Amino acid sequence: MNREYHKWHSNALRRDMELLVFGHAGVPLLVFPTSMGRFFDYEGRGMIAAMAHQYEHGEFEAFCVDSVDSESWYNKSVAPRERAHRHTEYDRYVLEEVLPFIRSHNRSDQLVTTGCSFGGYHAVNFALRHPDVVTGAVSMGGAFDIHQFLDGYYDDNCYYNCPPDFLPGLNDPWYLDRYRRQRLVLATGEHDICRDENVRLSGIMNGKQIPHWLDVWGDGAGHDWPWWQQMAVKFF
At 170 the pLDDT is 97
Residue 56 DSSP SS3: helix
At 50 the pLDDT is 98
Mean pLDDT, residues 150-160: 97
The pTM assigned to this predicted structure is 0.97
Q: What is the pLDDT of residues 1-48, one digit of tens each?
A: 999 999 999 999 999 999 999 999 999 999 999 999 999 999 999 999
How does residue 131 score in pLDDT terms, banded at 50, 70 and 90? Answer: very high
At 3 the pLDDT is 98
Mean pLDDT, residues 158-171: 98
Domain extent listing, the chain: 3-235
How does residue 220 score in pLDDT terms, banded at 50, 70 and 90? Answer: very high
How does residue 63 score in pLDDT terms, banded at 50, 70 and 90? Answer: very high
17-21 own/partner pairs: CB under 8 Å, 24+ apart? 17/65, 17/66, 17/93, 17/97, 18/66, 19/63, 19/64, 19/65, 19/66, 19/98, 19/101, 20/62, 20/63, 20/64, 21/61, 21/62, 21/63, 21/64, 21/105
Q: What is the pLDDT of residues 188-214, one digit of tens each?
A: 999 999 999 999 999 999 999 999 999
How does residue 158 score in pLDDT terms, banded at 50, 70 and 90? Answer: very high
Write the CATH number of the domain with boundaries 3-235.
3.40.50.1820
